[in-house]
A and B are shown apart, each in its own frame.
Chain A
Amino acid sequence: EVQLLESGGGLVQPGGSLRLSCAASGFTFNNYAMSWVRQAPGKGLEWVSGISGSGGSTYYADSGKGRFTISRDNSKNTLYLQMNSLRAEDTAVYYCAKDHDSSGYYYGDNWFDPWGQGTLVTVSS
Chain B
Amino acid sequence: QSVLTQPPSVSGAPGQRVTISCTGSSSNIGAGYDVHWYQQLPGTAPKLLIYGNSNRPSGVPDRFSGSKSGTSASLAITGLQAEDEADYYCQSYDSSLSALFGGGTKLTVL
Instruction: Write the residues of chain A forming the contact surface with B, with a CB cutoff of 8 angstroms.
Output: 35, 37, 44-47, 50, 59, 61-62, 95, 100, 107-109, 111-118
Contact = CB atoms under 8 A, between A and B. Distances in A.
- Most B CB contacts (10 A, CB to CB) among A37, A45, A62 go to A45
B34 interface: yes
Given A62-B97, A108-B94, 17 more contacts: A35-B99, A44-B103, A45-B89, A47-B98, A61-B98, A95-B45, A95-B46, A108-B93, A111-B36, A111-B48, A111-B51, A111-B91, A112-B48, A113-B51, A114-B48, A115-B46, A116-B45
Interface residues of B, number: 27
Contacts, number: 64
Interface of B: 2, 33-34, 36, 38, 44-48, 51-52, 57, 89, 91-95, 97-104
B89 A118 contact: no
A44 B101 contact: yes
A47 B2 contact: no
Given A100-B51, A116-B45, A47 B99 contact: yes
- Most A CB contacts (10 A, CB to CB) among B33, B34, B36 go to B36
A115 B57 CA distance: 14
A37 B89 CA distance: 13
Contacts of B101: 37, 44-47
Given A50-B98, A100-B51, A45 B46 contact: yes
